[in-house]
Amino acid sequence: MTKLIAGFSKFNKQQKIEWLAENFFQKREEGIKILKQYWNADEKLQSLHDEFIENTISNFYVPYAIAPNFIINGKTYTIPMSIEESSVVAAASLVAKFWSVRGGFKAKVLSTTKVGHVHFMYAGDKEKLQETFNKIKPKLFEETEAITENMRKRGGGILDIELIDKTSELKDYYQLYVTFETKDSMGANFINSCLEKIADIFKNDDIQIVMSILSNYVPECLVRAEVSCHIDDFFDENPRFYAKKFVQAVQIAEVEPYRAVTHNKGIMNGIDAVVLATGNDFRAIAAGIHAYASRDGHYRSLTHAKIEGDVFHFWIEIPLALGTVGGLTKLHPLAKLSLEMLHQPSAEELMQVVAVAGLAQNFAALKALTTTGIQEGHMKMHMNNILNQLEATVHEKNILVDQFKGKTVSYNDVANALHQLRLVQNKNN
């Protein structure tokens, strides 16, 4: 068993790698070589990446791709996506093309309010606490003005502060519920700084501050994206039948949590890919969205569909707390390029793009599920991944892709087929 190591954080990168290789790698030199292969040749750029997080020893590459031909509110977009899962970008691109000749996507931001809390304990008289809060509330705004000045100049700041009684859920538990407008910033540091200042002012001998922190659940920071078309334009053959089947698939995800989880995971394939590519926090986004899917106590689909008369409607409404300034959005070179690709969007515009990406991904999945089945699209990329693992040549790939067309693909079947192909090739040579 590896011994605990003291002072590891003080090691330089080379020393950390040497320790790692010595204690964990079966093939020491090969392990070191792989780590260094992923270093950027530009030392300045690599140094920038090294400083994003602690104890950096290499870079872990995730493919960075684009999905063109998205029309959102009449404007054409090419959407950057960073994700490791096959078929996601292909699906998004196909859906973008599909809706580009059917009016495109419509999107709008419904609200942009973000939330933070000062959580505290108080065992005294409730009326006295309310009186104390009412008296000190103006001061809470005044004493945070130095922190909020720049944000207020941009039209943001603290919107309101409320005292919330939570003692029915936990003995002596109260909170200050603080709402914010952070404009183009995601606002995490701003919100937390404000909350800690508010807590410092509000505390007294009777009020025990537990913690001050923003919430990643932002049900009042909402965006809606939608598509619609005449039912005859939905599918080439029997469009009404397939449109009805599509709606039924959504309805199942609205009532069945087992299906809803997978349904919403597919939505997050699109959302997270764009969030990551723009340098935003995809974990925060995912946590908030999944909480929103459970807001009535039952985990449900994030998308909805209906047929009204002869018109098919499909839409999504989700919370998205995104930023286009601050953090990695302006620090990571590819994140900066992503925002440039998206016409340097405001936070609200980025919310619309991300919501559309999620809706598009879900449309692709449901259309496949209710027609040919999900595996047909996945098999091609799965086949390609297997062939890459087996180090097949381009010539071998072409032969085997054709051989397995329309068939279910397994690793063993492909490996055996490649082996047989190579036996034939060697014999012929």
pTM above 0.75, yes or no: yes
The predicted pLDDT at position 375 comes to 56
Do 193 and 227 fall within a single domain? Answer: no
Q: Is the pLDDT of residue 17 over 70?
A: yes
Angle of helix 188-202 relative to helix 145-153, nearest 10 degrees, comes to 150
Which among 184, 196, 281, 349 is annotated as catalytic? Answer: 281
- How many structural domains is the chain composed of? 4
| Assigned domain for 260 exists | yes
Angle of helix 28-37 relative to helix 13-24, nearest 10 degrees, comes to 140
Do 45 and 28 fall within a single domain? Answer: yes
- CATH number of residue 246's parent domain: 3.90.770.10
| Assigned domain for 195 exists | yes
Do 268 and 295 fall within a single domain? Answer: yes
Question: Any catalytic annotation for residue 119?
Answer: no
Question: Any catalytic annotation for residue 18?
Answer: no
Do 134 and 231 fall within a single domain? Answer: no
Considering only CA atoms, which of 112, 148, 190, 189 is closest in space to residue 346? 112
The predicted pLDDT at position 279 comes to 95
Do 166 and 268 fall within a single domain? Answer: no
Do 364 and 393 fall within a single domain? Answer: no
Question: Any catalytic annotation for residue 340?
Answer: no
Do 205 and 227 fall within a single domain? Answer: no
Question: Any catalytic annotation for residue 226?
Answer: no
d(Cα 267, Cα 359) in Å, to the nearest integer?
6
Do 342 and 407 fall within a single domain? Answer: no
Give the pLDDT mean for 219-233.
Answer: 97
Do 165 and 244 fall within a single domain? Answer: no
The predicted pLDDT at position 166 comes to 98
Q: What are phi and psi of 97, to 5 degrees?
A: -65, -40
Angle at Cα 272 formed by Cα 303 and Cα 69, nearest 5°?
A: 75
| Assigned domain for 1 exists | no
Q: Which domain holds residue 310?
A: 64-108+222-373
Do 119 and 94 fall within a single domain? Answer: no
Do 337 and 384 fall within a single domain? Answer: no
The pLDDT confidence band at residue 142, using thresholds 50, 70 and 90, is very high
| Assigned domain for 182 exists | yes
> Which tokens is 55 given?
């104890």
Q: Is the pLDDT of residue 62 over 80?
A: yes
Which among 13, 106, 244, 265 is annotated as catalytic? Answer: 265
Do 307 and 424 fall within a single domain? Answer: no
Which among 42, 84, 85, 165 is annotated as catalytic? Answer: 85
Average pLDDT, the chain: 93
pLDDT, tens only, 360-394:
999 999 999 998 765 555 566 667 778 888 888 88
Angle at Cα 173 formed by Cα 172 and Cα 175, nearest 5°?
A: 140
Which among 378, 396, 397, 413 is annotated as catalytic? Answer: 378
Which residues are registered as beta bridge partners of 120? 174, 209
Give the pLDDT mean for 396-423.
Answer: 80
d(Cα 121, Cα 114) in Å, to the nearest integer?
23
The predicted pLDDT at position 285 comes to 97
| Assigned domain for 148 exists | yes
